A and B are shown apart, each in its own frame.
Chain A
Amino acid sequence: MALLEVSGLEVRFDTPEGVVKAVNGMDFEVGEGETLAIVGESGAGKSQLVMAIMGLLAENGSASGVALFDGEDLMQMKPRELRGIRGRRIAMIFQDPMTSLNPYLTIEKQMIEVAMHHQGLARDEARAHAVEMLRAVRIPDPEERIRQYPHEYSGGMRQRVMIAIGLLCEPELLIADEPSTALDVTVQAQITELVGRLREQTRMSIILITHDLAAVAEVSDRIIVMYAGQMVETGTVDDIFYRPQHPYTRGLLASVPRLDRVSDDELQAIPGNPPNLLELPSGCPFRDRCSEATEGCRQPPPLWQGEGGRASRCVLPMDGGQIVAAEAVGEDGA
């Protein structure tokens, strides 16, 4: 049994303009010790997917579906039970380290409260534990720096602190939502390296959310490519990088700058914008931007499944794949 099994997950937001269909039926698993990358453009629903799992959606958001964590459905849990899991068994780090730490409290206060609350540690023990964690994420001089406020830390250091907070209770699952996006490129590499090291040193499962396909290649086991709130393709890192099936995945790969072919071709961008999530088109949501779109794309695309969890949602046949289902996305928006 996988650590996290998500099926049929949908997220809706009630807005004055109408209902935003942010996530439209996601199914996936995260195994023990596995690192899953969820990749897609902004607005693809990746963040809202994990926020729904954590029970942290905004007030106007609602989620349905099943998210079994260690056999228990997170979606059915009472707020109190969910709080017992958040921060202790599932930790989350966010995109913007500049605003994700409380500017009015010292790093120490923000760290020890987790250990004191979940593990029942005394203040001194919690502090020692926090210092140890800061050292693990390579904050220099942690005994001194733990007394400082977030504004005395650089962006990269703040994200390290966020990771250290996440690691305090040795969670089984770490969800990292664009952990390096808001940072300088050199710092991005350090954070990615840190995540990679944690992945090797701990038995923790990781969900890594990013819009940057290149950034996840080295640190992930499997990749899910998301578009308009749906999985469009999934497979191992090698599958996605060397045998991409879905035109969207190929477009994403072509838009990654590569050092090994500098002058040969220009950087390829995917034309157009993601569809309006208020009125999803029936049929394939990618068809208006797809260079290989045909008349058949007006129908909901079939889901192809292959060996080892490989899948693609497209009219184009998948190598070694079987059609399992054709699902309608914009059923009520047609």
Chain B
Amino acid sequence: MANWTNLHKLAASVSKEARQITRDREALLLLFAMPLLFVLIMSLAMRDAFREKGGVVLPIIVVDNDRSTVGSSIVDAFSALPAFKVDTAIEGGATDERSVRADVASGKHKFAVIIPEGTDKNARRRIQRQLRFVKGGTDGAPEIRLLADPAMRFDYRNLASTNLNRALQAIENRLLWEEFAALAGMKMTPERRQAAKEILTGNRPFAEVSAEDAAALGRKEAMPTAVQQSVPSWSLFGVFFLVIPLSVAFTKERQAGCLQRLRSMPTPLWVVMAGKAVSYFIINQIQFALMILMGIYAVPLLGGDRFAFGHAPLAVAMMSVAVSLAAVNYGLAAAAYCKTAEQATTFGGASVLIFGALGGIMVPKFLMPPVMQRLSAVSPMSWGLDGYLNIFVRNGTVRDILPQFAGLVCFAVISAAIAALKLRNIQK
């Protein structure tokens, strides 16, 4: 009988919380609009950074002061790459180094290749000397320079310089072929020249190299796209962000004397706490579902990749439950220790941001130095993100998320115990 009465009280508490939350516009914005926007924005903003073939197009200008086959070969080599858009003059037609440098410095072109006069002649001379086994031949040779936009990322700089070096290698190989042909008395007909160019411009190694994901169970369907990363990351952030409205609502309730009144009534403390926990848990599940739907339907509409839910719905459900329990109970613990709504906002917001930063939400963990990667182990968001990535990116199943699931549930239990101990002794 007593149990039924408490269940009835629990239902009344959940209903009361739901009414309060749905009437708090600011809390609703914080709980739903903010994380949904984050998922949308980050999925779109990070899209190209995750695409295998690179959706990024880097404008590059090739200034050919030599007016030889070297310049045209470099232009051909970069034009063949989808990551680059090649121009041979800046806007207005200028090709002098000063104008080109200013153009790149302003970011209009991301790179400039400057080929000095005499490059082709120098290259041929060097090859002829090498074929006669004469050392040297490069002293005083003009340098081909690659200028980069100062704001250009290091990996894109590497991409440009690697492709430039490959193009130069191809040119050298072609010149060597021509010299060998001449030495062998072979006439270089236009057909042979074209064939040599086609063979060497491709410049493919003798065996193809391709990278593939080491996904669990040998499945390859999931791609590590921006949306696969952003949906779980920002879902976690949104779920944990409820610490703020929850702890603010709770501290206000205490300040108003409602908690004191409730404790003078024949209602166990666990009913009061569970009433909040269940309500916010339901909100978390709605948040998560909306963010998944956002990834599946809204992100593709705006040009992003479609979120792939994967093959382990039970694992997803387990992670979602564990993350919610951790977030809700952490919110209750924060509320128990904060005396005012201001304290709750500051502490709740700051702790969630720190958990997020450490947990790889804002900066992916693989970009962190080893010390920070080890430190990230203290953040429950890190466990949550690892669990979700195991499912959505690494194609994991229930077995693959058990450590993260257990960690989050333990965190939830400890947080709930801390909250209960503190609230039992609180007068107001």
Partners in one complex: no
